[in-house]
């Protein structure tokens, strides 16, 4: 899979690193409603990747759900900022390292959250549906690879969801549905000529529309990645890693 992304900085309308959610979390010196809200939003996006890692460790469905829910409850209640710094301020690395440490100690303590107490960050029905769709792939990958791939796919879903909402507001959902197929270079994707025929547009008009969508996609991708790193210099590395994971 090859997803279009840019490794170059965006000059106009660039990312404001000072106000990213992860920066808010790292800057908090004590309990802060803003930091807690930011961390919860970030964690919500990592439930599926981290749950996949737990399942690959040999835990059953219900036990993996309990462990993942307990891990996030602990994380939201007690942040270890020293661990964050050791992971160079990358949320992706920090969460996986923290989860591994959490699981290594799980057999020595009773879980603080049992089924029916507290609410998971994502609906369990949605979680199980995604797991069923991913079973064949999960059987062939190691735990770390499952986590990385689900992280990249979740990030891609977030970007596409933001794009779709922008096109919906503009009343151009049909155009988006056709153009998004051109973003992913896979066998069988439609040609621009085919899209033009489907939408009763000229091929040149489709070319221009796709160019605008691709530019917007790149900017939104950078914004989403920037939310998960503490330092501006890490964005390019995370973008390259994102591309490499999807192409693997």
The string of pLDDT tens digits covering residues 133-157 is 555 455 567 889 989 988 998 888 8
Residue 12 lies in a domain: no
pLDDT of residue 240: 92
Is a pLDDT exceeding 80 seen at residue 112? Answer: no
The pLDDT of residue 84 = 55
- At 219 the pLDDT is 94
Domain encompassing residue 117: 17-247
CB-based contacts of 197, cutoff 8 Å, min separation 6: none
- Residue 2 maps to a domain: no
Q: Is residue 8 domain-resident?
A: no
**In the structure, what pLDDT confidence band is assigned to residue 78 with cuts at 50, 70 and 90?**
low
**Tokens describing residue 170:** 């503009």
Report which of residues 31 and 44 the model is more confident about: 44
Residue 1 within any structural domain of the chain: no
pLDDT class for 18, splitting at 50, 70, 90? very low
Residue 6 lies in a domain: no
User: Could you tell me if residue 135 is inside a domain?
Assistant: yes
Q: Is residue 5 part of a domain?
A: no
The reply to whether 81 falls in a domain is yes
What pLDDT, on a 0 to 100 scale, did the predictor assign at position 198? 93
Query: Residue 242 pLDDT > 50, yes or no?
Result: yes
Tokens 């998971």 locate to 120
What total number of domains does the chain contain? 1
Which ranges of the chain does DSSP label H, i.e. alpha helix?
A: 21-27, 33-44, 47-56, 61-77, 81-86, 91-106, 124-133, 135-138, 143-169, 173-179, 192-199, 203-226, 234-247
């Amino acid at each position: 899979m090859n997803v279009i992304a840019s490794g170059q900085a965006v000059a106009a309308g660039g990312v404001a690193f000072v106000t990213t959610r992860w920066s808010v979390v790292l800057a908090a010196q004590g309990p802060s409603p803003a930091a807690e809200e930011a961390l919860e939003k970030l964690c919500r996006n990592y439930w599926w990747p981290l749950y996949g890692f737990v399942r690959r460790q040999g835990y059953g469905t219900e036990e993996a759900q309990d462990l993942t829910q307990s891990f996030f409850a602990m994380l939201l209640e007690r942040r270890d900022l020293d661990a964050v710094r050791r992971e160079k301020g990358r949320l992706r690395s920090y969460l996986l390292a923290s989860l591994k440490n959490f699981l290594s100690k799980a057999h020595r303590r009773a879980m603080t959250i049992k089924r029916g107490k507290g609410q998971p960050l994502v609906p369990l029905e949605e979680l199980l549906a995604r797991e069923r769709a991913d079973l064949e792939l999960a059987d062939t990958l190691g735990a770390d690879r499952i986590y990385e791939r689900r992280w990249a796919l979740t990030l891609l879903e977030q970007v596409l969801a933001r794009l779709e909402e922008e096109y919906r507001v503009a009343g151009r959902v049909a155009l988006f549905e056709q153009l998004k197929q051109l973003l992913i270079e896979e066998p069988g994707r439609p040609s621009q000529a085919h899209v033009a025929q489907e939408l009763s547009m000229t091929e040149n008009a489709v070319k221009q529309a796709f160019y605008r969508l691709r530019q917007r996609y790149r900017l939104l991708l950078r914004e989403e990645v920037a939310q998960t790193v503490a330092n501006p210099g890490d964005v390019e590395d995370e973008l390259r890693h994102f591309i490499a994971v999807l192409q693997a």
